């Protein structure tokens, strides 16, 4: 999915709703709900989006070492399904090592 049309779609969001799971994960991972809402309403930090069925996985970058990943569902409202704080350097290391594992043994 192209980034700019998706950003425009997020900006038109009337209401943001958090699932119970997203609320628990945000509290557990110490991610401020207002910060999540700000990222959805003004998606300037959005660097990548992947569509899976009717859900979208969105990556927001704060710096080279910190970012957020949200899984959202968009209909009349925007439902935040889950939120994850990511560390891109750490994630790249994990992906690099995962490639060394034979495909049949991967989860």
Domain ranges, ordered by start, for the chain:
3-105
Gap between the Cα atoms of 106 and 99, Å rounded = 9
Looking at the structure, give the CATH architecture of the domain made up of residues 3-105. 2-Layer Sandwich (3.30)
Instruction: Specify burial of residue 65 (Cβ count, 10 A radius: 0-12, 13-18, 19+).
Output: exposed
For residue range 12-54, list pLDDT tens digits in order.
Answer: 988 999 999 999 999 999 999 999 999 999 999 998 899 988 8
For residue range 72-103, list pLDDT tens digits in order.
Answer: 998 888 888 888 888 766 566 556 655 665 55
Return all residues near 13 (Cβ < 8 A) that are at least 6 apart: 40, 41, 74, 77, 78
């Amino acid at each position: 999915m192209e980034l700019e049309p998706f950003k425009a779609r997020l900006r038109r969001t009337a209401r943001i709703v958090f699932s119970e799971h997203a609320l628990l994960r945000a509290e557990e991972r110490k991610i401020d709900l207002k910060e999540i809402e700000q990222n959805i309403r003004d998606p300037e930090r959005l660097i990548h989006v992947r569509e899976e069925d009717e859900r979208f996985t969105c990556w927001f970058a704060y710096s080279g070492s910190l970012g957020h990943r949200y899984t959202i569902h968009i209909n009349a409202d925007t439902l935040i399904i889950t939120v994850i704080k990511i560390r891109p350097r750490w994630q790249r290391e994990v992906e690099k090592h995962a490639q060394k594992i034979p495909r049949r043994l991967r989860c």
